[in-house]
């Protein structure tokens, strides 16, 4: 699949009826638009709770409330299809509740600990306060902007690597070296984050990174108004000026 110079791209939005609270389904629209503008045929499918996960190049999990999150977890845990798709090369973007449920376990309101899917090693517990507000994260040499709204704090296992280091906001709500918060996780073709937005609409470079992995080739540059909006958001959230920040 990924890595084989794909010309027909399938994007699957998993359980949007449960994990569609914060508009993360818009990530599929961004990916489809940016792929089509480069001449790639795209099919976007919505996968309901009782449907099998298709053989798609990109799989998307969004955010949701505690009850629907548990339903989604139990549905995905019925078999190992999601793990098989990822192991076969599918790119997985998991946002907020989706990020929590692919981990080892997570805690919901009332103190119930729910076993996750174990695709990454992470434990989410209830934080002392809910994290709501703008999120700015350094991911490699790029800036990722978004909006977080979650009550959980996620601690990654010792072998896991965070997606990035937080400049503004809380992200996972756990510190890395230098007492900086980190956000998300990155393991191979798995990307997890607490950033809503939808995150790919606010970060066109991130959408292109996922497409590069899924299509198995470098993409030609694609300029859009989204790039200008991204730069504006980075400056605003980080209180930066153009002469002191790179994008």
pLDDT digits (tens, 9 = 90+) for 166-217: 999 999 998 876 678 999 999 999 999 999 999 999 999 999 999 999 999 9
Is 103 within a domain? yes
The model's pTM: 0.94
- The reported pLDDT for the residue numbered 243 is 57
Q: Which of 154, 101, 103, 99 is nearest to 126 (CA)?
A: 154
Known active-site residue 196: yes
Range 25-50 average pLDDT: 97
Q: Is 150 a catalytic residue?
A: no
Dist. CA 183–CA 66, nearest whole Å: 20
Q: Is residue 247 part of a domain?
A: no
Asked if the structure places residue 3 within a domain, the reply is no
Query: According to the model, what pLDDT value does residue 57 have?
Result: 98
pLDDT, residue 152, reads 95
Question: Minimal CA–CA distance to 225: which of 66, 33, 80?
Answer: 33
At residue 244, the pLDDT reads: 52
Could you tell me if residue 181 is inside a domain? Answer: yes
* Residue 1 pLDDT level (bands cut at 50, 70, 90): very low
Average pLDDT, the chain: 93
Q: Which of 150, 196, 213, 230 is catalytic?
A: 196
Name the active-site residue from 96, 150, 213, 230. 96
Element at 14 (helix H, strand E): strand 8-14
Assess if residue 1 is contained within a domain.
no
Indicate whether 241 pLDDT > 60. yes
Total count of domains within the chain:
1
Domain limits for position 12:
8-238
pLDDT tens-place string over residues 43-83: 999 999 999 999 999 999 999 999 999 999 999 999 999 99
Q: Are strands 182-183 and 164-168 parallel, antiparallel or unpaired?
A: antiparallel
What's the Cα-to-Cα distance from 66 to each of 52, 101, 238, rounded to whole Å? 23, 11, 31
Q: Is the pLDDT assigned to residue 126 strictly greater than 80?
A: yes
pLDDT at 142 over 50: yes
- Kindly list the distances between the CA atom of residue 109 and the CA atoms of 12, 67, 214, 216, 225, in Å, as whole numbers in the listed order: 29, 9, 36, 41, 40
Q: CATH no. for residue 222?
A: 3.40.50.880
Q: Is residue 145 part of a domain?
A: yes
Flag whether 107 is in a domain.
Answer: yes
Domain assignment present for residue 56? The answer is yes
């Amino acid at each position: 699949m990924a890595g084989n110079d794909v010309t027909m791209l399938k994007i699957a939005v998993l359980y949007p009826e449960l994990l569609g609270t914060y508009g993360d389904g818009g990530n599929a629209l961004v990916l489809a638009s940016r792929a089509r503008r480069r001449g790639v045929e795209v099919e976007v499918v919505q996968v309901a709770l009782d449907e099998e996960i298709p053989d798609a190049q990109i799989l998307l999990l969004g955010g949701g409330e505690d009850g629907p999150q548990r339903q989604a977890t139990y549905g995905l845990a019925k078999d190992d299809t999601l793990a098989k798709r990822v192991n076969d090369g599918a790119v997985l973007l998991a946002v907020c509740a989706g990020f929590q449920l692919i981990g080892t376990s997570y805690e919901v309101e009332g103190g119930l600990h729910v076993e996750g899917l174990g695709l990454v090693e992470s434990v989410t517990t209830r934080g002392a306060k809910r994290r709501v507000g703008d999120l700015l994260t350094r991911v490699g040499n790029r800036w990722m902007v978004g909006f977080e709204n979650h009550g959980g704090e996620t601690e990654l296992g010792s072998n896991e690597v965070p997606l990035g280091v937080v400049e503004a906001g809380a992200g996972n709500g756990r510190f890395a070296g230098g007492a900086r918060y980190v956000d998300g996780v990155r393991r191979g073709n798995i990307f997890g984050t607490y950033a809503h937005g939808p995150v790919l609409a606010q970060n066109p470079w991130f959408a292109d990174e996922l497409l590069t992995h899924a299509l198995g080739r470098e993409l030609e540059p694609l300029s859009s108004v989204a790039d200008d909006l991204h730069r504006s958001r980075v400056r605003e959230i980080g209180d930066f000026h153009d002469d002191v920040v790179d994008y």
